[in-house]
Amino acid sequence: MTARTTVQAFFDDKTWTVSYVIVDTATRSAAIVDPVLDFDFKSGRTHTLQADKLIAHVREHGLTVQWILETHAHADHLSSARYLQQHLGGRIAIGERITQVQQTFKKLFNLERGFLPDGTQFDHLFQDDEVFHIGGVEARALLVPGHTPADMAYLVDGAVFVGDTLFMPDVGSARADFPGGDAHALYASMRRILALPPETRMFVCHDYPPAGRAPAWETTVAAQRAHNIHARDSIGEAEFVQMRQARDATLDVPTLILPSIQVNIRAGQLPPPEDDGVSYLKIPLNVIGRAQP
Ligand SMILES: [Fe+2]
């Protein structure tokens, strides 16, 4: 990365999520990537501890938030995009294929008629290869489907924010078994990212460190091509797909998938309150996960 931009990471140790603030130092314009809304499933209560750290950072450094970027509709944490926008401004953006994800989950959750799966909950929908700007810095949105059909990576000034398409070299890749996920597509998306210049800095959205290693979130294209346990250059598509599908078949449904998806396909907005003024989340019974053997 040139001296033009800085990246500050914020790690949430409850969901293993890394959020980022990218700053164009010349204009003090900023983009926030994948912000977390804390959620206690037991009580159904949201908190803003993580989001408030981002707000404090933005205010302390006198930044103007232009973008709140989501790499995808996350299944493991709720997004604080809407809360941040209320406090900091900025446009909430995601990939245009979010409409497919909204259609799938509108049906799965039997959402209210007023929920339109047309992406209008977001301020901007990125097309593949779309160029945008953070202050004076050019950035590019890359469609990288596979983990979900709508995943995007964001390429900014020699750094790529890959969401869940790749994890750290010793962790590998994300699952591809959610609705609309596809291991073949994920392989192609990983190769697309790994075709960037070897020195490209890479920032991942989660880290699940093996025992004995502290959480980490920054690597490079070169390191991934040499060492990633799922995606190094020597691993071909057939080998990857077989490994990914076998592994996915053993994974539990993520703890927060039901609340996360219902909030995240609304761009971080809670469902509309019912006639008592309270927002509710739904739990579809016997719909997702594996049937009893
Ligand atoms: Fe994800």
pLDDT digits (tens, 9 = 90+) for 258-288: 999 999 999 999 999 999 999 999 999 999 9
From ligand 1's centre to the CA of 123, what distance in Å? 21
- Give the C-alpha separation, 101 to 7, whole Å: 29
Q: Is 156 left (phi over 0), alpha (psi -120 to 50) or beta?
A: beta
Per-residue pLDDT band for 290 (boundaries 50, 70, 90) equals confident
Distance 165 CA to ligand 1 centre (A): 8
Q: In whole numbers, what is the pLDDT of the chain averaged over residues?
A: 97
Mean pLDDT of 186-193: 98
Strand 29-33 versus strand 17-24 pairing type: antiparallel
Q: What is the pLDDT of residue 2?
A: 52
- Quote the CA–CA distance of 199 and 267 in Å, as a whole number: 33
Closest CA to 250 of 190, 175, 198, 188: 175
Separation of CA 71 and ligand 1 centre (Å): 8
Reported confidence tier of residue 1, pLDDT bands at 50, 70, 90 = very low
pLDDT tens for residues 118-160? 999 999 999 999 999 999 999 999 999 999 999 999 999 999 9
Under DSSP, is residue 125 helix (H, G, I), strand (E, B) or coil? strand
Going from the Cα of 250 to the center of ligand 1, the distance in angstroms, rounded, reads 17
Ligand 1 centroid, distance to 73 Cα (angstroms): 7
Distance CA 231, CA 235 (A): 6
